[in-house]
Copies of this chain bind each other. A is one copy, B any other.
Amino acid sequence: MCKLYLDDFHVGQKFGSDRLRVDSDRIKAFAAEFDPQPFRLDDEAAKGSFFGGLAASGWHTAALTMRLIVTSDFKPAGGVIGKSNEISWKKPVRPGDELRIESEVMEVRPSKSRPEQGTIKVCTTTFNQNDDPVQVLVANLVVPRRPEGSHHAHGE
């Protein structure tokens, strides 16, 4: 897969991903390490909670989304390197859910102060197997410009 420079991105460009299944054990293991609230760790406690049953930590959904982004065809040269994000959770992620993403480039901005790089704004929606959005992430990513004299991607 080609590495993409700032010059290779354009508004409206889209990227998809494979699916990734989330199971109950991983939901509880992530929560034990990072979000140890009783309703994340125990099925009975979860039933009486805001979520009405076991649901993945939002930060687990965010981390799984990062995996889906990094393993997709979205391959900025230099890596997927975030500066700032807006993230919102739309629906609980339940044991057995299968997540996938759809990403769309919203802005491409060369840097004024650093001519060798720029920023792209990418909106990534994470869907479950019923095509319900579970998370929306708007990320500002640092992307290098194509070095002068190097070849364009895709043989252009």
Contact = CB atoms under 8 A, between A and B. Distances in A.
A142 B145 CA distance: 41
B63 A34 contact: yes
Contact of A58 (B60, B64, B82): B82
A112 interface: no
Interface string A10-33: 000000000000000000001001
A85 B87 contact: yes
Contacts of A47: none
B67 A35 contact: yes
Majority secondary structure of chain A interface residues (helix, strand, loop or mixed)? mixed
Given A82-B58, A86-B86, A67 B37 contact: no
A36 to B, nearest CB: 6
Interface in A63-97: 63-64, 66-67, 70-71, 78-89
28 contacts: A30-B63, A34-B63, A35-B63, A35-B66, A35-B67, A35-B70, A35-B80, A36-B71, A37-B70, A37-B79, A37-B80, A49-B78, A50-B79, A50-B81, A57-B66, A59-B59, A59-B62, A59-B63, A60-B63, A62-B62, A63-B63, A82-B89, A83-B89, A84-B87, A84-B88, A85-B85, A85-B86, A85-B88
Closest 5 CB pairs of A and B: A84-B88, A34-B63, A59-B63, A37-B79, A34-B67
Interface of A: 30, 33-37, 39, 49-50, 57-60, 62-64, 66-67, 70-71, 78-89, 142
